[in-house]
Chain A
């Protein structure tokens, strides 16, 4: 299926660091390998003869399906990371993400209440950070993951300065 980007044309998107793929891979490995291992338990038990009930084909099919799904997610990760982008405009910040489920978010600088920078252990070891914007609305889940630390600090300063200049009430 042809994927047409939904973002407004004529924007120069800045992409996040390709190293962020590693962060996603670690997360993927932890989540999916654990799931596959847990789902394989019945198979092992059936093979040992400890369990009677799940027929062999079912006990094998479930972890196999989970494994295929996990592989599919693994293949998608680099594309998903490439699809994350942000663009600073005169008065607002645009954040986009997603391939199948796309989303473009516009956050006006004057609406920002505060800016967060966080970094998990994997991100930190790679010199990356995640920037979060908060507005008065809980629905604004504006997050730019996988920024190089320097770029994150620059962006935070930039956003704070611009937010102050354009600050509006609620």
Chain B
């Protein structure tokens, strides 16, 4: 029962109680509160008027408790999972049965999540994401921590093709053999975000600006109108913001990134901890952004679009999952970019990326004649000078450049953004133009990727450049897709794919 093998297995027996502790706690609260209050007042445990009926009440309460526990036990008994034949299967439910299976080589991400209570009991939840932006495809709550880790290693080993590497065609290996191979892949730490920097980044974040502005406004209003009630509005606002700060701190605490053959490993969390594994080549788009106040310290934030994660949920968990780096220095951003995009597809990645993050086109405007842009601007093609009235601040920032492997889109003079979309991840491309943009002969180029925090959009490119890019990008995405053949990223036959490719191909 120790190896996560081919047999059908059950989750940990304590898991329904850990999941349903709220229900149990509520029951105890309702039954216990009355008695407790009376005890405090010096009365008997049970109200005199009810004393005669006490056995019935106890019986009723006991029945409810028993039914709940029975439900928990049944739900545990009928939840079984199996990893075999290239699939992970989960059966749940005893009245309404559900059988679910997901192909291992379709894995987009695997998370090991530990809420506080589960962590106290040494349990963890395993989430297996495929490309369906809804809920997790497979959701195993809860397993023992080492069991969850081993299952993750098994799934990743089979998904990557590393296990079937020896005789290349073997879904039907003996279970013992496969379980033995599924060691956790060795990993190499890349960076850790110190808590002090995380706290600093929160203090200097956008919401702090809003707080300061809001506080100043309410104080001014109070002073002008001599009405004290404005202070009271600050209390709920302050509570909400404190919760937001706490959430960000809790989710970003002790953020650690590491690289292993299975992909990028991210670990974070103060009370609830989470460990994410993003297999190579599953990242659909990356955004590096810098709010204005972070520029003082040269900090950046990185977010990703993953096919399985979907848009950020309301509870903040989604936004934590799509964060690749909550706050980092330029060197750390480069370290993460090298993991996300192992082959930058350009001879001088540092220059291109720095231009994307901080660069500004020369004030004279590159113009269409000066196609090879100024050397300090990393080859970015920006909004033509004629359209500077449309974006008086941003026209020297808004631009794009394409390397052999990815399209880089930068924007924002104060809130700086750099979006990277790998060519083989482009879904579809649209060129859009409104009447105002037409007057200035510019157009927007929109790249469609899977649901997530990033919606790549090239703002106000020159019309000719935009048209050329539409064609060139379609061609680049096509060639990039042809190179990518297998979903098994460690398959020996697949190594050609990850090797450097043919020369530059500019449209």
Contact = CB atoms under 8 A, between A and B. Distances in A.
19 contacts: A1-B435, A6-B466, A92-B478, A101-B435, A104-B431, A105-B429, A105-B430, A106-B470, A108-B477, A110-B481, A136-B307, A136-B450, A137-B450, A140-B428, A166-B481, A168-B484, A169-B487, A170-B108, A170-B307
Contacts of B152: none
Contacts, number: 101
Contact of A104 (B450, B470, B484): B470
Contacts of B471: 8
A101 B432 contact: yes
B433 interface: yes
B478 A101 contact: no
A107 B455 CA distance: 17
B425 interface: yes
B101 interface: no
A91 B429 CA distance: 13
Interface string B458-492: 00000100110011001001100100100100000
B502 to A, nearest CB: 18
Contacts of A3: 438
Which 3 pairs from chain A and chain B are nearest by CB?
A137-B448, A139-B448, A137-B427
A6 B429 CA distance: 14
A100 B131 CA distance: 36
A77 B273 CA distance: 57
A100 B438 CA distance: 9
A4 to B, nearest CB: 7
Contacts of B133: 138
Contacts of A105: 428-431
A140 B448 contact: yes
A135 B481 CA distance: 15
A91 B434 CA distance: 28
Interface string A137-151: 111101000000000
Given A6-B463, A101-B432, A168-B484, A92 B449 contact: no
A102 B478 contact: no
Contacts of A102: 431-433, 438
Given A138-B451, A170-B425, A106 B474 contact: yes
A170 B131 contact: yes
A108 B431 CA distance: 15
Contact of B467 (A8, A92, A103): A8
B467 A6 contact: yes
Contacts of A107: 428
Given A108-B428, A170-B131, A170-B425, A137 B435 contact: no
B373 interface: no
Contacts of A91: 474, 478
Contacts of B282: 170
Name A's interface SS: loop
Contact of A6 (B424, B426, B431): B431
Interface in B272-288: 282, 284
A29 to B, nearest CB: 26
Contact of A135 (B443, B448, B455, B463): B448
Contacts of B433: 6, 101-103
Contacts of A135: 427-428, 448
Interface in B401-459: 424-435, 438-439, 441, 443, 446, 448-451, 455
**Which of A100, A108, A135, A169 is the most central at the interface, judged by chain B CB atoms within 10 Å of its CB?**
A169
Contacts of B467: 6-9
Contacts of B477: 108
A138 to B, nearest CB: 6
A91 B446 CA distance: 19
A136 B435 contact: no
Contacts of A9: 467
Nearest to A90: B478
Contacts of A101: 432-435
B446 A139 contact: yes
Contacts of B427: 108, 111, 135-137, 139-140
A90 to B, nearest CB: 9
Given A137-B451, A139-B448, A103 B481 contact: no
A98 to B, nearest CB: 8
Nearest to A6: B433
Contacts of A108: 426-428, 474, 477-478, 481
Contacts of A1: 435, 438-439
Interface in A1-54: 1, 3-4, 6-9
Contacts of B487: 169
Most buried by B among A9, A101, A104, A170: A170
A6 B451 CA distance: 27
A92 B446 CA distance: 16
A107 B428 CA distance: 5
Contacts of A92: 474, 478
B430 A137 contact: no
A153 B462 CA distance: 38
B425 to A, nearest CB: 7
A9 B428 CA distance: 19
A133 B131 CA distance: 18
Given A137-B428, A140-B428, 19 more contacts: A1-B435, A1-B439, A4-B441, A4-B463, A6-B431, A92-B478, A102-B431, A105-B428, A105-B431, A106-B428, A106-B470, A106-B474, A108-B428, A111-B426, A136-B131, A137-B448, A138-B451, A139-B455, A169-B487
B428 A142 contact: yes
A170 B431 contact: no
Contacts of A104: 430-432, 470
Contacts of B466: 6
B431 A103 contact: yes
A168 B481 contact: yes
A107 B478 CA distance: 11
